[in-house]
Structure 1
């Protein structure tokens, strides 16, 4: 039977009732670990914080699929579509194994799901034919007749919305969400204030999503353009040595005059050029000229390489010795003339002019090349051989050619837009190059050789949109902000945005054309998109088209200030964007960007989400993603949702980041997703009535998920949810109750949500959210405790015991500890954490790590029965006589007699939770379990 238009119009969506977050987390982690192998990073790795395509797919399908009375069947169909079922997983693992090893695939299928995923191909890497086995079961359950994802999406879109579903993302960023929605077969509307974000999004759907025929046409044009660029660069004769060698990279350094000696000193923090093949740079004093020559040389020993680690920049000082005996040191801050004026750091550097493209003779920082890496095809014709050479007279002559060329063409090229003439606007990130180098225009971040190469490329490619997309990716490879790294046989250069800042360098590398032009040949697997995809550049609140589903990852508390750093690219594109994209505003429009966590952010978000609510049908659905970094986030989101006329229907938590993506190691971040609907009714309630309603909603939600989890386990599969997931579900149930009401205690919640916040003062919304979160957390009572006695425990005790259960379940990501600490209102949870904790392998301290610390004092755990009990477990493990242990426990534990029964329960509980855990290098949790068991029995049998 064919699905009829609007047949599912009022059916709840699957994502509102179930979402296998543990499996989706494993898949998301796998995708994030792929790094440069991810589907869309070929278009530009400079955009960080991409949401995994697999997560986006789950959101789109979760919004379209219905939930039925048979939740297990709903889950089965969802996992089939996600490539998470056993048969597809077998194919995914087989795809990574050689034919001779495919008989071993069964060994992997019995492993935990995250281990299977690690071994398997990502489901997006499989051809559609490998999903052929799913359609019979999918169609039988849904009443569809699909044989592909686009067919399925169109049919279920018609059943829900009366048309092929329209999915929108008005904070499209790198385009991950629009691309995945379009690839599934949805019509897509994508927008962003930032034109570089729009460029990446456009590239995703029009290059990666192009048909095979279109891709073939692009490839032909690529070759023609590359040849034109190559001819023009070669015409100047500055990248070859005349003997068959071509430059792969040039190394440059700054140079300053030492005020004590008058010598010009190259600023090179590290003289190692290549560690693996033992190539270093050495300063050769030239007394007659009061300067140093720089000799590039091979050495014989690792010790010689190690000695070359120490350069002329040491701890913020210039250090050199012309005679090899006397050492001269000068602070770079003194040379620069650093001083404070009010709250500003300033110095006496000359501010560069628009016409400058290299230092003037009287500038503090001069610049010089000191090494060239050459490459030549091997005689066999396969591969290249490489050489590092010192700078010779002929190299300086070629360098001068480039300088002369840019000197005579700069004004013309700036006028034509081939190179930038745009001023660097002051800002958090953009102040750095101004303050540290005196650079005032974006072209100052490029040396003459870089301006030449990138100017020629810009001239030939930016009028064609498919290649304009690649220009920022190439610019990310080529500026004075590209650090040289000396590992690997060939060495290499880091990208500009290897981190999301504009860090100036004392020495840097510049790529030769062959090391950049390959980006014009960049190829990825074709993911043909046939649905309509519209990309526009405008503020989110200026949306004017209706869409059925909104999936957004807005810039909440975003540490990456894209509105500033993408001006690095905009400066090159703004005068000559492709005609097809010229209607976009080629400016960062910083003042309009929704950013941060302050009042402006909330107001901007309310305006955006109110417009999206207005521009979706009554049965439309919205998924709001955000990264959990701030304790005030739930209040902020509730304010935004209330004021926008929306309400929460579900919340899920998915781990989406990896250790390597998190520079500080201790801030692993996942993604919280709030599922939203329009608030159709004007309901009123009173705070006194909310308590039982929230508790009932939390209970129903958690029991529903726990029941589904048990059913899945009963079938021999892994569980779906951890306590952290149930906690999020509890939050969602609380928010669902709260945001359903327009008026609470006679107060209009929209007005309350829009009211300005006063620093340090809690609003009505803050108080309600705190109340709701506490209610949700209190419901998660561990097995073995009564609700009443659990609630009598101090927050820090509940936190420690709850996290012991989480560890027992195998969940050890640091963000879980952070989330629960906030929920339990534990201010200094770090005091309870092992010193060995890392982002994805965190754990609580064992009793043997606490020893006698924090028995008294200001620590939250001091003076609690739990702390006294942990000390008692420690004493048992140290073979103190049991009678003495109990005596000490009675002394350390206030109100021992009334507390005795709960001490037994806590000891039994820890004995169970510490059993069988993987031991650490220093401590064994099974010893802890044994000691806890002995203590519990001793307390239980104690005669007083």
Structure 2
């Protein structure tokens, strides 16, 4: 048996607060480090921050000398929860006093020292960044050079130049620069120089357009439609391939494109009215293929692909979007604007080959086999001009840094801190700005008619074909402009913590050293995302700009893929080969991590658990079992599992699938080498012995009922994984899948055993609800069940929860109990009545009304029992596939902490009125 001091993450978390902050973070843009540059499936900073803190801080049960009783442990746990709830708030991200308090808690729980944290699959950098925010030494590594550059830009470069003043001419004489504010200011300054210089060289390619008023306006975007020749030999006209003809659907500003045939040629006209095309008339392309607008000839995708691969896929300008003081205007294109982009491609463009990954990178099938093929010639001119200007900007930064008095020093890659290194640093961020622009300046960008803006290439984790595309003006002041990309980069940089040492390096997770490092990581998600293949879209531009700045990182033509830990059936001999590659690589990583692992702090591992992972039979995806099995086989004991939701949904699948989790976090400890082997019977006995207390602690926290089943896997799989093997009756080793089924079954039993602690009316109601819900049943059966529960139908009716007449009986539904409730005059109050009434009132009237009533309820019954019954009823509703009831009870319990916070303002009034009611009762007697 392993013995270790439990950390908070192994016991209890304020999940609702963490999930709410993570969800809110998605709407926070300016300054969020995630806006430095796109990367796939980044963890929300709030999630990473909370997990790291809970991973490093002792649970009070680990310090019995300070917290000897259960009550004292609960109180300390609640204090730590409150601290986490403050830490995850976005506005507190750079609250130095708050993070100093958090750092002291970490130090106190780790022998007076601050541990160093590593993420070996650093990706977008959320985990290393949040480790640094706590003042910890932060280490990030990844095989993907894009990920390495992003982590250098988040944790390594900002800390190297933290607190430094900007060096550009004319900078303000500000006495104090916090964190990377000075560096951020220089990035803005030299980014503006790049924009102005690029406009001087190629601005003529982006002319203004004449509006209806005769005035010239800056173009935001040109909308193009790809074209093919009609396969009907009798009418070989150019056919536009368009998903939608609409340009704007905003009320009062409706605009769309009318396509017509004149003299054997297509003509496009922008129309301003609300009576635009609908249904099949809106566009010419759908999932089945295309149709010719001239004669209705159907056009299959096979024909379109063949034409495209033969170089006969054309493009036609169909609309121009311009900016005015009154908003967007949409203009019919002229020959002048159609001919301007017909320029020669630059001599040197990204020429590396795109990987053909069906369903993920569909452009290959349409003749776009090189990365340069994803851009128009005008876009290639702009991208190459700006990429080359990055190097010219570096020379200006270097000259200005030397003039500002910085010593020349070594280059950044050699560990320098002087002018050379500073010029490399500024250049890195300028290159990221150019790379960001690629996501908005490709012929795979589309026009969003609802938002009147350009939709970027990576609206999802794939590179799909786009038929009608929007070509932005990089020199406008609207969506997709270059200076806007620099501003995003600069704001993200200014918000980095830059408070402690950080280091990012390019190395495979299977070969790096893990000694003396706390591990928190978000590994690749089996077959969900092709990180390397998608990264090449940006890498080909970053390599052009940064080959002399980061030669060891961008030294290869494309990102490394052979060793990338992703189950790609197109690289690894089909699904079986891909699965074997992933499993063996995954196990190798965590076996190596196990060899150098520290024992005082658990490792945390994220798994992206999406809705589609839940199967109809209640099973889950290969990736989930692979993760659990791989960790256990690599010698790890899993001590907790926590569902982390950054996206909420009203959809609930069957119990055990946890359809709402967007990530699961596992806490893991090295399993002792001499771990025992046990039988199935011993395993079940251990589950029944340990799960009840673990569930009590979980429910004492702020976990929602919807998350309980997933969180309960933690203590359950902990029992399974602490042993070398669990033997079935026939001698086979028990599988992870079978263990999870037993854990879910035991959870049912444990929750069911709570019924014995409830009052008789509630025990009856739970049994009746389990069998009939809110439907009618036989009165005779109701009478028998009531007697066996030590109550009666008459008592249940007086309690206001049941009715029986005409030989039929039923529970009163929530909608019948959501009205006014005078609890002081209620002669018979049960936990059932309180729970159902409060849940119904919560749905109808909201949290404030429930808090007011709870102040009175707690004078009559134990409100902890109300919360416990809420968990149980959610569990029963989910098993019955009753989404409405499940949402009802989940809503009440999820808000329990907030409700109790507000109850105090009503307590004094409630106590006074309650005492008055008692006195009145005594007078009557």
Q: Which residue of 2 aligns with 1:211?
A: 162
Q: Which residue of 2 aligns with 1:374?
A: 322
Normalised by the size of structure 2, how large is the TM-score? 0.67
Q: Which residue of 1 aligns with 2:356?
A: 426
Over 3 Å counting, the alpha-carbon distance change for 1:577 and 1:763 in structure 2 is farther
Alignment partners' CA distance in 2, 1:724 and 1:261 = 60
Q: Per-residue deviation at 1:704?
A: 4.3
1:255 to 227, 251, 254: 227
Q: Per-residue deviation at 1:507?
A: 0.7
Alignment partners' CA distance in 1, 2:751 and 2:441 = 53
Within-5 A mapping of 1:283-682: 283-287=259-263, 290-299=264-273, 302-304=274-276, 310-313=282-285, 316=288, 318-320=290-292, 327-333=295-301, 335-336=303-304, 348-349=306-307, 351=309, 359=311, 363=312, 365-375=313-323, 386-400=328-342, 403-404=343-344, 406=345, 409-410=346-347, 413-414=348-349, 420-429=350-359, 431-435=361-365, 437-461=366-390, 464-488=427-451, 491-513=452-474, 514=476, 515-517=480-482, 518-522=484-488, 523-524=491-492, 525-584=494-553, 586=556, 587-596=558-567, 598-628=579-609, 629=613, 630=620, 635-659=625-649, 667-682=659-674
Query: Structure 1, residues 224-246: CA drift from partner, whole Å, max 9, x if none?
Result: 34333433344341112497533
- RMSD of aligned alpha carbons: 4.4
Q: Which residue of 2 aligns with 1:863?
A: none
Name which structure has the greater RCO, CA cutoff 8 Å, separation 6+: 2
The size of the alignment, in residue pairs, is: 698
Alignment partners' CA distance in 2, 1:781 and 1:512 = 64
**In the alignment, is the contact (CA less than 8 A) between 2:221 and 2:322 conserved in 1?**
yes
SS at match of 1:18: coil
**In the alignment, is the contact (CA less than 8 A) between 1:432 and 1:504 conserved in 2?**
yes
Report the more deviating stretch, 453-462 or 177-186.
Answer: 453-462
Query: Structure 1, residues 421-449: CA drift from partner, whole Å, max 9, x if none?
Result: 110122244551121x2111111111112
Q: Which residue of 2 aligns with 1:270?
A: 244
Q: Per-residue deviation at 1:159?
A: 1.6
Alignment partners' CA distance in 2, 1:350 and 1:509 = 19
Alignment partners' CA distance in 2, 1:547 and 1:923 = 47
Over 3 Å counting, the alpha-carbon distance change for 1:745 and 1:720 in structure 2 is same
Alignment partners' CA distance in 2, 1:221 and 1:556 = 34
Alignment partners' CA distance in 2, 1:268 and 1:440 = 22
Q: Per-residue deviation at 1:252?
A: 0.8
Q: Per-residue deviation at 1:802?
A: 11
Within-5 A mapping of 1:671-750: 671-687=663-679, 688-705=681-698, 709=700, 720-723=702-705, 726-745=708-727
In structure 2, list runs of 5 or more residues that go unmatched: 68-72, 165-179, 210-214, 392-423, 568-577, 614-619, 759-764, 778-800, 811-829, 845-881, 890-925
Alignment partners' CA distance in 2, 1:690 and 1:308 = 60
Alignment partners' CA distance in 1, 2:458 and 2:529 = 11
Q: Which residue of 2 aligns with 1:52?
A: 44
Over 3 Å counting, the alpha-carbon distance change for 1:801 and 1:47 in structure 2 is farther
Structure 1 residue 240 and structure 2 residue 207: aligned? yes
Q: Per-residue deviation at 1:56?
A: 1.6
Over 3 Å counting, the alpha-carbon distance change for 1:273 and 1:648 in structure 2 is closer
Over 3 Å counting, the alpha-carbon distance change for 1:425 and 1:205 in structure 2 is same
Query: Structure 1, residues 123-179: CA drift from partner, whole Å, max 9, x if none?
Result: 2313756x75x7xxxxxxxxxxx95555665x447626xx43111111112111111
Structure 1 residue 281 and structure 2 residue 257: aligned? yes
Over 3 Å counting, the alpha-carbon distance change for 1:743 and 1:211 in structure 2 is same
Over 3 Å counting, the alpha-carbon distance change for 1:580 and 1:231 in structure 2 is closer
Over 3 Å counting, the alpha-carbon distance change for 1:743 and 1:315 in structure 2 is closer
**In the alignment, is the contact (CA less than 8 A) between 1:804 and 1:913 conserved in 2?**
no
**In the alignment, is the contact (CA less than 8 A) between 2:641 and 2:714 conserved in 1?**
yes
Over 3 Å counting, the alpha-carbon distance change for 1:918 and 1:593 in structure 2 is farther
Alignment partners' CA distance in 2, 1:78 and 1:923 = 33
Over 3 Å counting, the alpha-carbon distance change for 1:245 and 1:769 in structure 2 is closer
Over 3 Å counting, the alpha-carbon distance change for 1:148 and 1:249 in structure 2 is same
Q: Per-residue deviation at 1:673?
A: 2.1
Q: Per-residue deviation at 1:393?
A: 3.0
Q: Which residue of 2 aligns with 1:175?
A: 125
Alignment partners' CA distance in 2, 1:192 and 1:577 = 18
SS at match of 1:780: helix
Q: Per-residue deviation at 1:571?
A: 2.7
SS at match of 2:605: strand
**In the alignment, is the contact (CA less than 8 A) between 1:481 and 1:504 conserved in 2?**
yes
Q: Per-residue deviation at 1:765?
A: 4.7
**In the alignment, is the contact (CA less than 8 A) between 1:250 and 1:369 conserved in 2?**
yes
Structure 1 residue 189 and structure 2 residue 189: aligned? no
Alignment partners' CA distance in 1, 2:512 and 2:471 = 42
In structure 1, list runs of 5 or more residues that go unmatched: 1-8, 89-121, 135-145, 337-346, 353-358, 379-383, 415-419, 710-718, 753-761, 788-799, 806-831, 833-843, 851-876, 887-907, 930-944
Alignment partners' CA distance in 2, 1:176 and 1:591 = 25
Alignment partners' CA distance in 1, 2:320 and 2:82 = 54
Query: Structure 1, residues 757-814: CA drift from partner, whole Å, max 9, x if none?
Result: xxxxx96454445444433443222533699xxxxxxxxxxxx989989xxxxxxxxx
**In the alignment, is the contact (CA less than 8 A) between 1:157 and 1:165 conserved in 2?**
no
Q: Per-residue deviation at 1:350?
A: 5.4
Q: Per-residue deviation at 1:186?
A: 0.9
Q: Per-residue deviation at 1:59?
A: 1.8
**In the alignment, is the contact (CA less than 8 A) between 1:31 and 1:38 conserved in 2?**
no
Normalised by the size of structure 1, how large is the TM-score? 0.66
Alignment partners' CA distance in 1, 2:102 and 2:832 = 48
**In the alignment, is the contact (CA less than 8 A) between 1:151 and 1:185 conserved in 2?**
no
Within-5 A mapping of 1:65-80: 65-67=57-59, 68-69=63-64, 70=67, 71-80=73-82
